[in-house]
């Protein structure tokens, strides 16, 4: 297996490996990240969480979760899953970037690389992302990469005892 799956000048999208575990825990154990993600992203984030995630990822029939990195270290995660039934040609994508890499183009570069990969290698015609309406940084990333706002989902995101609106963004293959 090659070290990286996709690459730009500075950003790598590559397979997660056991050497990343310490750095994943260091960066993922951050409420500023967890507050915008689904509840299956633990907070606090502990070593056993990355071990369980790694085992599940590597045992899957297809690897769809990847590390965002540079040549030196892990910098975040990006992954997608296929929707089912009548939505089987749609992939849902999600990502997070470690706080030291915020505002440096890691998320938008990784999202662009993985979106292009999905459209060119997978039987997908649409990629969508749901983002909490107050996650301005992620909204900017999606729009920068060409995702279009399709709708507001009122009070669809429950986190830390509070309801939030979420926004549905999508990008089409053609």
Q: Looking at residue 30, which CATH number applies to its domain?
A: 3.40.630.30
- The model carries a pTM of 0.93
pLDDT digits (tens, 9 = 90+) for 5-28: 778 888 999 999 999 999 999 999
State how far the Cα of 1 lies from the Cα of 102, in Å rounded to an integer: 29
Neighbours of 123 (CB within 10 A): 9
Number of structural domains, the chain?
A: 1
Does residue 103 lie within any of the structural domains? yes
Each as own residue / partner, the long-range contacts of residues 58-66 (CB below 8 Å, 24 or more positions apart, any chain) are 63/15, 65/16, 66/5, 66/13, 66/14, 66/15, 66/16, 66/114
Does residue 56 lie within any of the structural domains? yes
Domain range holding 96?
Answer: 6-126
Does residue 172 lie within any of the structural domains? no
Does residue 149 lie within any of the structural domains? no
Does residue 152 lie within any of the structural domains? no
What local confidence, expressed as pLDDT, does residue 4 receive? 60
Does residue 74 lie within any of the structural domains? yes
Which residues of the chain fall below pLDDT 70?
Answer: 1-4
Does residue 111 lie within any of the structural domains? yes
What local confidence, expressed as pLDDT, does residue 7 receive? 81
Q: C-alpha angle 66/70/73, rounded to 5°?
A: 85
């Amino acid at each position: 297996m090659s070290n990286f799956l996709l690459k730009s000048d500075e950003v790598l999208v590559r397979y997660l490996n056991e050497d990343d575990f310490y750095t994943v825990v260091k960066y993922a154990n951050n409420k500023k990240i967890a507050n915008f993600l689904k509840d299956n992203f633990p907070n606090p984030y502990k070593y056993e969480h990355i071990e369980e995630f790694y085992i599940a990822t590597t045992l899957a029939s297809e690897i769809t979760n990847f590390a965002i990195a540079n040549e030196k270290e892990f910098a975040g995660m990006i992954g997608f899953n296929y929707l089912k039934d009548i939505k089987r040609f749609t992939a849902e994508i999600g990502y997070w970037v470690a706080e030291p890499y915020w505002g440096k183009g890691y998320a938008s570069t990784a999202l662009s690389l993985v979106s292009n990969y999905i459209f060119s290698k997978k039987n997908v015609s649409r990629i969508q992302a749901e983002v909490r309406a107050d996650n301005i940084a992620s909204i900017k990333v999606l729009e920068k990469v060409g995702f279009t706002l399709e709708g507001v989902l009122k009070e669809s995101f429950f986190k830390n005892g509070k309801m939030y609106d979420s926004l549905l963004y999508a990008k089409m293959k053609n």
